Structure 1
Amino acid sequence: MVYPAKLTAEAIVRSALDLLEGGGKEALNMRALAGRLSVQPSSLYRYYPDRAALVAALEDHAALSLHGALREASRDRLPREALSAAAHAYLDYARAHPHLYGLMLAPRPPAPAGPGPGKDLWNHVLHLVGAVTGIPDDTGAAVAYWAFLHGYVQLERSGGFGLSGPRGGFERGLKALIRGLAHPDEEKGEGGAGP
C-alpha cells in the first residue's frame, strides 16, 4: 500500500507503466491507477493534473529507455556497426515493450520538438546517422532510417508479413539502407567493416 503522504511522481509512473505494459493503453486510467496504489484518484491529480499529463510522463519514460538501449547498443562501435546495432536494439525494444513503444509513437498532430527525452533520442539517432553519412545534421537520412525501423515494427506488429514471415527482410533492408547512406570516404575507411 502506498500512503498518500509517501506517494511520489515516480511511484505513480512505475504503477502506470505496469498497467500499460500489462493491458495496453485502454488499461491506463486514473481510477485503476489509484486502486493499484491504494489511494483515492484525487491524490494522483496533485502530481499529474489529468491523464494527458500522465501519458506525457510515460512517453518521456519510453524515450529515455529507448535512448538508453540505442546508446548502449552503439557504444564503442564503428559508425556503420553502431547504426546497425542501434537498429537491432530499436527492434528489440519495440518487441519487448509494445504498449510503451506504441504510446510513444502514437499518431499526433505535428508540433515543434522542445527539449526533453524525445528530442535527446532524436539527436542521438541524428548523431549515429551523421557519423555514417558524413553530414552532422543529416535530417533526411535520419528520417529514412527511423521510417525504415518504425515501418518494419508496424508491419510485424500488424501481421503484415503474413504466414511466410519477413524472410530476412529486416537484415537485407538495413544493410541496403546503411550502404546507401554511407559517405564514400566512410565506406572506404574505418567504418567499412560494418554491414
Structure 2
Amino acid sequence: MPYPAKLNPEQILDTAQKLLETSGPDGLSMRTLADALLVRPSSLYRHHASRETLLLALGERAALALRAALLHAATDREARAGAEAASHAYLQYARQHPHLYALLLLKLDQLPQGERMGTAGKQLWNTLLDVVGRLSGNPDDTAYAVALWTFLHGFAELERSGMFGASGPRGGLEVGLTALLEAMQSARP
C-alpha cells in the first residue's frame, strides 16, 4: 500500500474513533486502523508510537468532547439549573459514547510507563469544578465536585452494566442528584 501524503493526526483519530465506537476496544488495533485508512500499519507509528498512545489521544479527545457537552449544558443557566443540565449532559455522553467514555478512566497500570491523561483531562475537571463552584459558592469545591463526579460515574456504570434491570432506576437518579445539588446549594456561604 502506498503512503498517502495527506495522512494526518486528525484523520487518524477520526478513523480510530469510528472504529472504536462501532467495534469497541477489541476492534481497534493498529492493523485494523491501517486497513481502514488504506495505509501500512508502519505508517501509523509515525504519528502514534503504540496502540496505547493512540488510546490516550482518543481519551484526550473524549475529555474535550465531554467538557464541551458540560459547558454547552451549563452555559446561560442559573447555577442550580446549570449543574443539573451538566449532570444530564455527562450521563448522555456516557450513554452515547460508552467506549470513548471508558477511555477517560483508564487505570494507571493500563497506560504506557509515565503516560497520564494530559491537559484535556484537567480541563474537564476544571469545568466540573466550575459548575459545582457556581452552585456551592466555593470556586475550589473539590469535595462536592468529587461527590458529583462519583455519583454520575457510578450511575453511568450501573446503567451500562445492566444492573438496574428492565425496570430501570425508578427515579433514583433524580433523587440522588436532587440531594447532592441541594446539599451544594445549602453549603453556599
Which TM-score applies when normalising by structure 2? 0.92
CA-based RMSD of the aligned residues comes to 2.2
Who is 2:40 aligned against?
A: 40
* 2:168 partner amino acid: G
* 1:123 partner amino acid: N
Who is 2:58 aligned against?
A: 58
**Partner Cα distance (1:112, 1:12) in 2:** 20
* 1:29 partner amino acid: S
- Cα distance, 1:135 vs structure 2: 1.1
Confirm whether residue 133 of structure 1 aligns to residue 136 of structure 2: yes
Confirm whether residue 165 of structure 1 aligns to residue 172 of structure 2: no
Confirm whether residue 153 of structure 1 aligns to residue 153 of structure 2: no
**Partner Cα distance (2:32, 2:115) in 1:** 32
Q: Is the 8 A contact 2:3 2:40 kept in 1?
A: no
Structure 1 residues 47 and 115, CA gap change in structure 2 (3 angstroms): closer
**Partner Cα distance (2:117, 2:32) in 1:** 31
Give the % identical residues: 51
Confirm whether residue 72 of structure 1 aligns to residue 75 of structure 2: no
> 1:112-127, aligned counterparts within 5 Å?
116-127=119-130
Deviates more, 1:30-39 or 1:168-177: 168-177
Gaps of 5+ in 2: none
Q: Deviation string for 1:68-110 (max 9, x for gaps)?
A: 0000010011111110000010111111111111122233359
SS at match of 1:144: helix
Corresponding residue to 1:178 among 168, 178, 181 = 181
Structure 1 residues 185 and 123, CA gap change in structure 2 (3 angstroms): closer
Structure 1 residues 76 and 113, CA gap change in structure 2 (3 angstroms): farther
Q: Is the 8 A contact 1:133 1:182 kept in 2?
A: yes
**Partner Cα distance (1:65, 1:180) in 2:** 28
**Partner Cα distance (1:8, 1:2) in 2:** 15
Deviates more, 1:89-98 or 1:175-184: 175-184
SS at match of 1:151: helix
**Partner Cα distance (1:61, 1:185) in 2:** 34
* 2:19 partner amino acid: L
Q: Is the 8 A contact 1:4 1:43 kept in 2?
A: no
Which TM-score applies when normalising by structure 1? 0.89
**Partner Cα distance (2:137, 2:18) in 1:** 41
* 2:103 partner amino acid: L
